[in-house]
């Protein structure tokens, strides 16, 4: 089996969005001189304000995989945003540092709400 996809010419950054059940919590850019833009591998991070197009794409990506706590990676192209990947095991230390959002507290709030609904 082969998995092929179109090459996406992107700038030297991507956008990481932490979402809970489709709702964006925080977003940042990750910029690097290399095509890998992982914050844990040295990419520079900065807060990013999502526009309505990006928010809608994050919701659609979340819906496609059943929601939950997700890291949605977007790439900016000449035609708008595209989803690069959706991570269900998400690291948010860099988001805490790059934004003024208390990401940990938002995740705990979401978990408590899910626990209450399940009880």
> The tokens of 10 are what?
């992107």
Residue 55 lies in a domain: yes
Q: Can you tell me the distance from the alpha carbon of 53 to that of 83, in angstroms, rounded to the nearest whole number?
A: 12
Residue 8 lies in a domain: no
Residue 4 lies in a domain: no
Q: Can you tell me the distance from the alpha carbon of 103 to that of 85, in angstroms, rounded to the nearest whole number?
A: 20
- Looking at residue 50, its pLDDT comes to 97
Taking only the tens place, the pLDDT of each residue in 12-63 is: 899 999 999 999 999 999 998 877 788 888 889 999 999 999 999 999 999 9
* Total domain count, the chain: 1
Residue 63 lies in a domain: yes
Domain of residue 95 covers 13-118
- Looking at residue 60, its pLDDT comes to 98
Task: Give the burial class of 23: count Cβ atoms within 10 A of its Cβ; 0-12 exposed, 13-18 middle, 19 or more buried.
Answer: middle
Q: Can you tell me the distance from the alpha carbon of 63 to that of 111, in angstroms, rounded to the nearest whole number?
A: 18
Termini Cα distance of the chain: 43
């Amino acid at each position: 089996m082969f998995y092929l996809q179109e090459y996406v010419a992107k700038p030297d950054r991507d956008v990481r969005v932490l979402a809970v059940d489709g709702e964006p919590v925080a977003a940042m850019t990750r910029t690097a001189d290399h095509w890998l833009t992982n914050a844990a591998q040295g990419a520079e991070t900065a807060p990013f304000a999502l526009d309505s197009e990006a928010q809608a794409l994050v919701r659609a990506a979340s819906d496609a995989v059943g929601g939950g706590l997700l890291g949605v990676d977007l790439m900016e192209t000449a035609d708008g945003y595209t989803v690069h990947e959706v991570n269900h095991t998400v690291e948010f230390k860099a988001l805490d540092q790059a934004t003024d959002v208390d990401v940990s507290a938002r995740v705990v709030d979401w978990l408590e709400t899910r626990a209450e609904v399940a009880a």
